[in-house]
Structure 1
Amino acid sequence: MTSQTSTTATTAAPAAAQGSHMWVLTLEIPGRGMSTQYGTWTPPADATRYDVFVALRGHLVTQHPEMGSANTVFFSLEPNRL
């Protein structure tokens, strides 16, 4: 078996065009591979942190179907401001 790591990022945009939150999500299939993605997003006003996690995980799995049964190694959702 080979180990594979992939990282995907959204293209940097001016702050005004970015989402309200910055996120990072890493999934891993132990011994087989890991995938990390990050970007910005403005969730719906009534969304919970869990709603955002499920939506982002679904997005990552759509891009990497082999990660459907992967473990979540890391998830961060922060307001996109300093």
Structure 2
Amino acid sequence: MSSQTEESTTPAAQNQGSHHYVLTLDLPGRVAGTWYGTVTPACDDTRHSLFVALRDHVGTENPAFARANVVFFSLEPNRL
């Protein structure tokens, strides 16, 4: 019986933030977009403050989405 080693192409957990987020915004009848990634909150951050910061960041980087409707937001610990 042989053994195989599988290499992962995903970044090591140490290189990722402590939380994973997904944010979907929609401009009805025009366009929708989804952003995702990892973030490590500061000790005084809240779920709401991270939501606002992420939404503001997307709006700054993509001005068309600055006033878009939020369709989905998830912020979860980045662990299995």
Same fold (TM over 0.5): yes
Q: Which runs of 5+ in 1 are unaligned?
A: 1-11
Note the C-alpha offset of 1:14: 1.2
Q: 1: CA distance between counterparts of 2:20 and 2:68? A: 22
**Cα distance per residue 1:10-33 (max 9 Å; x no partner):** xx5211110000000000010011
Q: 1:12-27, aligned counterparts within 5 Å?
A: 12-27=10-25
Q: 1: CA distance between counterparts of 2:43 and 2:11? A: 22
Corresponding residue for residue 55 of structure 2: 57
Q: 1: CA distance between counterparts of 2:58 and 2:12? A: 24
Q: 1: CA distance between counterparts of 2:22 and 2:72? A: 7
Report how many residues are paired: 71
Alpha-carbon RMSD across the aligned residues, in angstroms, is 0.9
Q: Share of identical aligned residues, percent?
A: 58
Q: 2: CA distance between counterparts of 1:42 and 1:62? A: 20
Note the C-alpha offset of 1:62: 1.4
Corresponding residue SS for 1:52: helix
Q: Which has the larger radius of gyration?
A: 2
- Given residue 26 of structure 2, which amino acid in structure 1 is its aligned partner? E
Corresponding residue SS for 1:36: strand
Give me the TM-score of the superposition, normalised by structure 2: 0.85
Q: 1: CA distance between counterparts of 2:41 and 2:63? A: 23
Q: Could you say which structure has the higher strand fraction? A: 1
